[in-house]
Amino acid sequence: MTFSIVARSDDGESWGVAVASKFLAVGAVVPAAVAQVGALATQADANVAYKGLALSHLDEGATASVALQRLLEEDEGRDHRQVGLVDLDGGAASHTGQACIDWAGGATGSGYAIQGNCLAGAEVVAAMETAWTNGVDLAFSHRLLAALAAGDAAGGDKRGRQSAALLVVRDGAGYGGGDDIAADLRVDDHAAPVDELGRLLDLNDLYLTASDDDEKVEITDTLRAELEDFAHERGHPDFATWVGTENYEMRVADDLSWIDQRILDLVRAAS
């Protein structure tokens, strides 16, 4: 009833899960990940306890294969479960219980585990694996989404579409550096959930991802005056207030020493 990819980035700094299903709010059930520990997806007759148990095993140093073995040994419902794991070092493991709804299966490789049940066919997993393998030039979150979209295009869940989710973790990647959540996006009920997830990821990149050095434009005295005039024309006391109102804190320096080129382009387009 669900298809997913669990992966670690090639640089070993990020872990993530992308998942879609004909199921309400799949992101609330399937994915879990902790930076510098690993990630997993629990699905089919999902055992949500797997999330805490697997991450605990991985945090204690178990490989993905060992952690999976421990999960299954302790679970009498293993034949109805499907789960994929990736560990700290990119080791991957996947399990499809023999009672999962056909077509059900998966594939693993260095740094990734792909799995699905109640699918249109084996071509769903094959398409996801090809997209993942060919997506080495994409940013990690977009590479996960590309794999998910390939599975969706290949038929995905044979019952139809309803929800999708993306969870990506990396040390210090959260808002203001306060946690490890680089992206935690959920489309709970939508006619085209994977497409909508892509739209949300683009917004996440804009609002909740810090600017790279090559995206930063120095705010000179002349530019500062231009920005302040822009804010005043819109009824704000200063440009910093406008930044907060529009949620661009990750894209403009607190001291107004720089502004992201995209935000500057937006300001000038609106002027």
Task: Determine the topology of domain 2-207 in CATH.
Answer: Glutamine Phosphoribosylpyrophosphate, subunit 1, domain 1 (3.60.20)
User: Is the whole-model pTM more than 0.85?
Assistant: yes
pLDDT of residue 175: 81
In one-letter notation, the amino acid at residue 205 is D
- Phi and psi at 138, nearest 5°, equal -85, 150
- Residue 271 confidence (pLDDT) above 90: no
Within the chain, all domains assigned CATH 3.60.20.10 are found at 2-207
Condensed to tens digits (0 to 9), the pLDDT of residues 92-128 reads 999 999 999 999 999 999 999 999 999 999 999 999 9
pLDDT of residue 176: 78
Condensed to tens digits (0 to 9), the pLDDT of residues 168-205 reads 999 999 887 889 999 999 999 999 999 999 999 999 99
Condensed to tens digits (0 to 9), the pLDDT of residues 236-251 reads 999 999 999 999 999 9
Taking the C-alpha atoms of residue 136 and residue 221, their distance in angstroms, rounded to an integer, is: 41
Tell me whether strands 258-260 and 216-218 are parallel, antiparallel or unpaired: antiparallel
Mean pLDDT calculated for residue range 74-87: 97
- Residue 210 confidence (pLDDT) above 90: no
